[in-house]
A and B are shown apart, each in its own frame.
Chain A
Amino acid sequence: MDTTALLRLRGVVKTFGDFTALHGIDLDIEEGEFFTIVGPSGSGKSTLIRLLVGMDEVTSGEIHLRDARIDQTPANLRPTCMVFQSLALFPHMSVGRNIEFPLKIRKEPPDRRRERALELLDLLRLPRDFYDKRISQCSGGERQRVALARALAFDPEILFFDEPLSALDYRLRKTLEKELKDLHARTGKTFVYITHSLEEAMVMSDRIAIMKEGRFEQIASADEIYGAPVSRFVAEFMGEVNLFDVTGSGDGMLTGTGLTVREGVTQSTLADGRRGLLMVRPEYVQFATDASQHDYRIDGRITAEYALGSRIQYQVAGPDGQAITVEKLREERIADPEDKEVTLGFNAERTHLIEGA
Chain B
Amino acid sequence: MERLDRRLGLLSSLPMAIVLLLAFLAPMLVVALFSIMPQKVFSLAHMPDFSAYSVFFAQGYYKSLLWSLGMALASTLILLVICWPLAYGMAKVFGRFTLVLTIAVVMSLFVSENIRLFGWVLTLMKGGLIEGHFRAWTGAGFDSPLYGVPIIVFGLVYVYLPFMLFPLAQGIAMVPDDTRQAAADLGANRWQVLTQIEIPLAAPGIVVGSLLSFVLAAGALAESKILGGQVVIAIADDIETAFTFGQDWPLGSALSMILIAIIGGLALFGVSRVDLDAIMGRKR
Q: Which residue of chain B is the closest to A105 with respect to CB atoms? A: B187
B197 and A90 form a contact (CB under 8 A): yes
B176, B185, B196: the one within 8 Å of A76 (CB): B185
A84 and B187 form a contact (CB under 8 A): no
Residue B10 lies at the interface, judged by CB distance under 8 Å to chain A = no
Q: Which residue of chain A is the closest to B187 with respect to CB atoms? A: A105
CB of B197, distance to nearest CB on chain A (Å): 6
Residue A55 lies at the interface, judged by CB distance under 8 Å to chain B = yes
How many residues on chain B are close to A (CB under 8 Å)?
A: 18
B201 and A92 form a contact (CB under 8 A): yes
B176, B186, B200: the one within 8 Å of A101 (CB): B186
Interface string of B180-215 (1 = CB under 8 A from A): 011111111100100011001101000000000000
Chain A residues in 8 Å Cβ range of B184: 55, 74-76
A55 and B183 form a contact (CB under 8 A): no
> With A91-B201, A101-B183 given, is the CB distance from A86 to B189 under 8 Å?
no
Q: Which residue of chain A is the closest to B181 with respect to CB atoms? A: A55
A92 and B200 form a contact (CB under 8 A): yes
A53, A86, A91, A106: the one within 8 Å of B185 (CB): A53
Residue B114 lies at the interface, judged by CB distance under 8 Å to chain A = no
Chain B residues in 8 Å Cβ range of A76: 184-189
> With A84-B178, A105-B192 given, is the CB distance from A90 to B183 under 8 Å?
yes
**A-B pair number, CB within 8 angstroms:** 58
B201 and A84 form a contact (CB under 8 A): no
CB of B279, distance to nearest CB on chain A (Å): 14
Chain A residues in 8 Å Cβ range of B176: 86, 88
Interface string of A294-333 (1 = CB under 8 A from B): 0000000000000000000000000000000000000000
CB of B204, distance to nearest CB on chain A (Å): 11
Residue B179 lies at the interface, judged by CB distance under 8 Å to chain A = yes
Interface string of A80-101 (1 = CB under 8 A from B): 1110101011111000000001
B178 and A88 form a contact (CB under 8 A): yes
CB of A66, distance to nearest CB on chain B (Å): 18
Residue A54 lies at the interface, judged by CB distance under 8 Å to chain B = yes
Q: Which residue of chain A is the closest to B284 with respect to CB atoms? A: A136
B200 and A102 form a contact (CB under 8 A): no
B185 and A75 form a contact (CB under 8 A): yes
Interface string of B227-266 (1 = CB under 8 A from A): 0000000000000000000000000000000000000000
Chain A residues in 8 Å Cβ range of B203: 92
CB of A143, distance to nearest CB on chain B (Å): 13
CB of A87, distance to nearest CB on chain B (Å): 8
Chain A residues in 8 Å Cβ range of B196: 101, 104
Residue A207 lies at the interface, judged by CB distance under 8 Å to chain B = no
A88, A90, A91, A102: the one within 8 Å of B187 (CB): A102
A54 and B183 form a contact (CB under 8 A): no
Interface string of B16-45 (1 = CB under 8 A from A): 000000000000000000000000000000
Residue A14 lies at the interface, judged by CB distance under 8 Å to chain B = no
Chain B residues in 8 Å Cβ range of A54: 185
Determine the distance from Cα of A105 to Cα of B190 in the docked complex, in whole angstroms: 12
Chain A residues in 8 Å Cβ range of B181: 55, 75, 84, 88
Residue A150 lies at the interface, judged by CB distance under 8 Å to chain B = yes
Interface positions, chain A 102-119, Cβ under 8 Å from B, are 102, 104-106
Q: A residues engaging B (CB < 8 A)?
A: 53-55, 74-77, 80-82, 84, 86, 88-92, 101-102, 104-106, 150-151, 154
- 18 more contacts with CB within 8 A, not counting A55-B184, A75-B185, A105-B188, are A53-B185, A55-B185, A74-B184, A75-B181, A75-B184, A76-B184, A76-B185, A76-B186, A77-B187, A80-B185, A86-B178, A88-B176, A88-B181, A89-B179, A90-B183, A91-B179, A101-B183, A154-B186
A-B contact pairs, 23 of them (CB 8 A): A55-B184, A75-B184, A76-B185, A76-B186, A76-B187, A76-B188, A76-B189, A80-B185, A82-B185, A84-B182, A88-B176, A89-B179, A90-B179, A90-B182, A90-B201, A101-B186, A101-B188, A102-B187, A105-B186, A105-B187, A105-B188, A150-B186, A154-B187
Q: B residues engaging A (CB < 8 A)?
A: 176, 178-179, 181-189, 192, 196-197, 200-201, 203
Q: What are the 6 A-B residue pairs with the smallest beta carbon separation, nearest first?
A: A88-B182, A88-B178, A102-B186, A105-B187, A92-B200, A76-B184
